[in-house]
Amino acid sequence: MTVDERLAQLGLSLPEAAKPLASYVPALQTGHFVYTSGQLPTRGGVLAYEGTIGLDLTEDDGYEAAKIACLNALAAIKTVIDDLDRVAHIVRVNGYVASADGFTDQPTVVNGASDLLLELFGHAGRHTRSAVGVYQLPLGAPVEIDVIAEIRG
């Protein structure tokens, strides 16, 4: 089953790649690796979630926001390699969570991205990861995700 077929099976689709907010590119390939810039949980250029986890938003909201941000990261990767079936392995995910004082469950929030990658890529979706709590993210986003993927050929 292709990645696009798995997405459809989950009732998901890749968005159009988000436009950069500043002076950077959404994704860059070097050798057999593609690195994405941090991706926010946007749909059509608008934040799907806004605020701080543990204050304005729940952990479940954060999980969903991480999933959307991860879809945006995959869309950025696709702009570089054209076909997500060329992904040999998801190597690394970094997740940043805008966290209320005392909120310490950032790993559960970032699982929104990690679980999606496992569903889409199976064993090749297993990755190393960081889940970091921060005070604030661009545009008031609750989550920012970046991905490193190893590419075939």
Q: What is the pLDDT of residue 93?
A: 98
Burial class (CB in 10 A: 0-12, 13-18, 19+), 91: middle
Q: What is the pLDDT of residue 141?
A: 98
pLDDT in tens, the chain (153 residues): 999 999 999 999 999 998 888 899 999 999 999 999 999 999 999 999 999 999 999 999 999 999 999 999 999 999 999 999 999 999 999 999 999 999 999 999 999 999 999 999 999 999 999 999 999 999 999 999 999 999 997
Three-state secondary-structure class, residue 29: strand
pLDDT for the residue numbered 153: 79
Give the burial class of 9: count Cβ atoms within 10 A of its Cβ; 0-12 exposed, 13-18 middle, 19 or more buried: exposed
Write out the H or E segment, with its range, that includes residue 30: strand 27-30
d(CA 93, CA 130): 7
Count of Cβ atoms closer than 10 Å to residue 24 Cβ: 10
Q: What domains, with CATH codes, occur in the chain? A: 3-151 (3.30.1330.40)
